Amino acid sequence: MFRIYMHRERASIADRESQRDTSRMSTTITFETPVADHDPALYTSHGEFSPIEGLAAVDNDAVAQYDRDGFLVVRSAFAAERINDALAELRAMSEAVDPDCAQVAFEGVMRRHIDEALGPDADVGDLDLRDRDEVSRILSMIDPQVRARMVRKFMGFTKTHPPLGAIANDKAMRAAIERLVGEPTKLFQTMALVKPPGGREKPWHQDHAYFDLPLDAKICGVWIALGHVTAQNGAMFMLRGAHRDGPVVHFKRRDWQICDTEIAGKQPVALEMEAGDLVFFDAKIPHGTPTNRTNEQRWALQFHYVPRSVEQIAQEMRLAVFGSEGKDVEC
């Protein structure tokens, strides 16, 4: 089943995984609005970072590094076989008319293809969003490989796609997260980020700004590279240590984001990685990813874990801190 959204934002819900990740689900489709390109200077890398080797190396020193820098890169966290299985699953989802997950978001360029499929007298705005068969018919008219290269992200898939669920629930990774957070955690949100060729920037932001969760909750994000990741194809850029400066007000510009002027002149670091490497990051670390300037997709999985004891807060409390333009947003 499909539900279609023409815009990027929709209601944010606490404990997103448990509410959306049911077996056989209705997929929400989002055709994003095309956005302006970014200033390349926002993504100039300064300096190095100090990765550790393997999840077993998450010891007290690594925890101290995570607390100090706001992120920790782990090389070779997952074996090639697990990564290849995940990638095969995601490739199949990208080509499917129904990817069987909670949400799929297409890049803005997809709107042009929908317009073409609808013919000369109609455009994407005329599509009857409630008509599942019609939507499937239109999506089927676009070559699956072309369609696949316009997918930006999937959300909510751990129950319906076991190779992806197995990574989100990997014992060694969960144990490392528990060490970093200092208490038992639960899976809160899942995403697969398929930055396609020309795929848009995810502007600078703090993930906590998107979550209706207490400000002092220690939320841990994990971003897992499923291929070679470089500054050119859309690596994660982070502002080392800036999580300790606390929340930053966000504004609706190219996305719900930190203002470019806040980032200009700062010294971010690009986290270039290989398949199977990952970065653990604090949900208050400012980060962003540039446009993919290559011809290949940049595949990544991103999961968020929250302390089991954490309860949802009212959206108004989040907006009072991160800015009132952030209603019903999702990162």
Footprint of ligand AKG (CB under 6 A):
193, 195, 202, 207, 234, 287, 289, 300, 302, 331
CA atoms of 228 and 80, how far apart (whole Å): 12
CB of 115 to ligand AKG, least distance (A): 26
**Residue 170 region by backbone torsions, left for phi larger than 0, else alpha for psi between -120 and 50, else beta:** beta
Helix (H, G, I), strand (E, B) or coil at 46: coil
* Spatial CA neighbour of 187 closest among 91, 282, 302: 302
CA atoms of 46 and 260, how far apart (whole Å): 17
CB of 174 to ligand AKG, least distance (A): 20
CB of 152 to ligand AKG, least distance (A): 8
CB of 276 to ligand AKG, least distance (A): 16
Q: For ligand AKG, give the closer residue by CB, 161 or 200.
A: 200
* Spatial CA neighbour of 89 closest among 230, 198, 17, 194: 194
Q: For ligand AKG, give the closer residue by CB, 20 or 202.
A: 202
Q: For ligand AKG, give the closer residue by CB, 159 or 195.
A: 195
CA atoms of 301 and 90, how far apart (whole Å): 10
Q: For ligand AKG, give the closer residue by CB, 31 or 281.
A: 281
CB of 275 to ligand AKG, least distance (A): 15
- Provide DSSP, 267-298: --EEE-B-TT-EEEEETTS-EEE----SSS-E
Q: For ligand AKG, give the closer residue by CB, 160 or 189.
A: 189
